Structure 1
Amino acid sequence: MFSIIQAAGWPIWPLIICSVIALALVVERLSSLRAARVVPPKLLDEVLSVTRANLPAPDVVNKLADNSILGRVLAAGIRAVIADPRITEEALRGAFESAGRAAVHRMEKYLNTLGTIASSAPYLGLLGTVIGMIEIFASQSPSGSNPAQLAQGISIALYNTAFGLIVAIPALIFYRYFRGLVEQYTLDMEQAANRLVPHLLRFTSPRATAA
């Protein structure tokens, strides 16, 4: 590996840095976007069960918010009803939407960086290719070619092109995968909020509900 890096020249170092960053981001997102940490499958049913008779105590709501990203969204709606028992349906939905936007922002953390690496890695490889071509042309002279410089130029051109694609393709695959995962989780949270809204409106005053 070290000999390949030496043959590829200095243009490969930005690609190596990008590959390390991309790997770290993929591992972090795989951990953070697990279903258990975002939308636990039975969490909504548990919330509906706990709030069947009355609203939970603040410490229970805090535990719900710490449970997962979905838990934060559901806790935001419960807190809105606790804070204002006369809250309207529109205001309650607004509280859920505000919490949902924050949740989406949290789920999309680092995805722009990963997407940037996926799109820029081929260009970094192309930069190495251009530099390699310059080395190739520089090896040519009226008195003949320099075999060592010619071989170095070919190595720089080929290794950087290949390494740029090696970095870009997995990064793009994981970027698309995480984007789809975030969209699915967003839909799940919207559906959970829509189920919880009429359930929580039972605890508001009749005039607020009618409004």
Structure 2
Amino acid sequence: MQPKFENRPEKGHLLNISYLGEGLIKMNTIFKIGLILLLTTGLAKAQEPDTNTNDLTLLQLVQEAGFLAWPLAALSIAAVFLIIFYTLTVRKGAVVSGRFMRSADSLIRKQDYIGLLKICNRQDQCISRITAKTVEFATKNPLASFEEVREVTEAEGSRQASLLHQRIQYLADIGAIAPMVGLLGTVVGMIKAFREIAQHSFVGSKQTGLASGVSEALLTTAGGLCIGIPALIFYSLFRGKVQGLVAELEAASTHIMALLAAQYKRASISKARAGKQKSETSRPADIQGI
């Protein structure tokens, strides 16, 4: 006789059902806790004040920074103006141009120094000023040696290079002065804050005065740095550009002096030949026949 099996669930299957029920209960509990936390967080955020209404405009920040904010504002305007001005003026065309160099080369080879002076006076370039000073000295002092003419050229070239460097120095001065003004504002603000602390009564309006002093100190420091750092960055950029322009100016001046040196050498050779011919023609006839 075959054994009869009763229709009973297996033991492992019963365990799985019990575990599933416990998991559903735990998930329900976690969901309720999460919902409570979510509602609590939303309620807390709803009770927080709206900080966006306390945003300050630029004018209000300047007013809170105290009286030293106005010198900082003036320095910032001056820095922006100088950056724009240097961008437009510190360029190769204001120092040396290929058109002027070609004209000067042609006129020097033709020994047309009067025409060269006219072109130099019409041009507003560093190389034109150097050339004008050199040619003017050479024409007014025909007996001057080439070494003396070269000294005049070098002196004028050094002056023009110095003017280029001095022109951008104002931006470096602003970059150094602005943080110092901000530091002065920091000291003034901290003095105000400590004066409020010294009053001992540290409630109500006294707390507002302390916060105002600290705010003034921080705002002026930040303002000075925000002006000084960009000013020094642009000064560094313009300084590198000026150094490149000075190198171009030196090369152009060297080319002009080389052309003048060739003309001086040619003039000295012609003068020597003329003197030799004059000495030969001035000899007596009997000496010439020897």
Using structure 1 for the length normalisation, give the TM-score: 0.85
Shift of 1:122: 0.9
Change (3 A) 1:209 1:77: farther
2:159 aligns with 102
Q: CA deviation at 1:128?
A: 0.9
Asked if 1:63 corresponds to 2:114, the answer is no
Identify the residue that residue 268 of structure 2 maps to in structure 1: 206
1:107-139 CA distance string (max 9 Å, x none)? 234433322221121111111112222222233
Contact 1:136–1:149 at 8 Å: present in 2 too? yes
Residue aligned with 1:87, SS: coil
Q: Which has the higher contact order (CA 8 A, sep 6+)?
A: 1
1:122·1:165 contact (CA, 8 Å) conserved in 2?
A: yes
Letter of the structure 2 residue corresponding to residue 103 of structure 1: Q
| 2: CA distance, partners of 1:61 / 1:160 | 54
Checking the alignment, whether the CA contact within 8 Å between 2:186 and 2:220 is kept in structure 1 is yes
Do structure 1's residue 197 and structure 2's residue 257 form an aligned pair? Answer: yes
Alignment of 1:42-121 (within 5 A): 42-58=99-115, 60-67=116-123, 68-121=125-178
Q: Deviations over 1:36-68 (max 9, x none)?
A: 11222443233213322222424x423324421
- Residues 78 and 200 of structure 1 are in contact (CA less than 8 Å); yes or no, is this contact kept in structure 2? no
Deviation larger for 185-194 or 199-208: 199-208
TM-score normalised over the length of structure 2: 0.64
Once the two structures are TM-superposed, the CA of residue 147 in structure 1 deviates from its matched residue by: 2.4
Aligned position for 1:37: 94
Q: Distance in 2 between matches of 1:64 and 1:138?
A: 66
Query: CA 1:23–1:63 in 2, change beyond 3 Å: closer, same or farther?
Result: same
SS at match of 1:15: helix
CA shift in 2, pair 1:105/1:40, >3 Å: same
Conserved in 2, the CA contact under 8 Å of 1:85 and 1:203?
no
Does the alignment pair 1:169 with 2:229? yes
Which one of 153, 158, 163 corresponds to residue 218 of structure 2? Answer: 158
The unaligned stretches of length 5 or more in structure 1 are none
Q: 1:209 to 1:144 in 2, by over 3 A?
A: farther
1:144 aligns with 2:202: yes
Q: How much identity, in percent, do the aligned residues show?
A: 29
1:65/1:71 contact within 8 Å kept? yes
AA at the equivalent of 1:3: Q
Question: RMSD of the TM alignment (CA)?
Answer: 2.5
Q: 2:187 aligns with which of 130, 138, 144?
A: 130
User: Which stretch has the larger CA shift, 200-209 or 136-145?
Assistant: 200-209
2:208 is paired with a residue whose SS is helix
For the residue of structure 2 that corresponds to 1:142, the secondary structure is: coil
Change beyond 3 A, Cα 1:84–1:135: same
Aligned residues, how many? 209
Is the contact made by 2:72 and 2:181 (CA closer than 8 Å) also made in structure 1? yes
Give the Cα separation in 2 of the matches to 1:43 and 1:185: 16
Larger radius of gyration: 2
Q: CA deviation at 1:86?
A: 4.2
User: Residues of 2 paired with 1:133 and 1:62: CA distance?
Assistant: 63
Instruction: Measure, in 1, the Cα distance between the counterparts of 2:260 and 2:201.
Output: 87
Is the 2:127–2:253 contact (alpha carbons within 8 Å) kept by the matching residues of 1? Answer: no
Query: 1:195/1:149 Cα in 2 relative to 1: closer, same or farther (>3 Å)?
Result: same
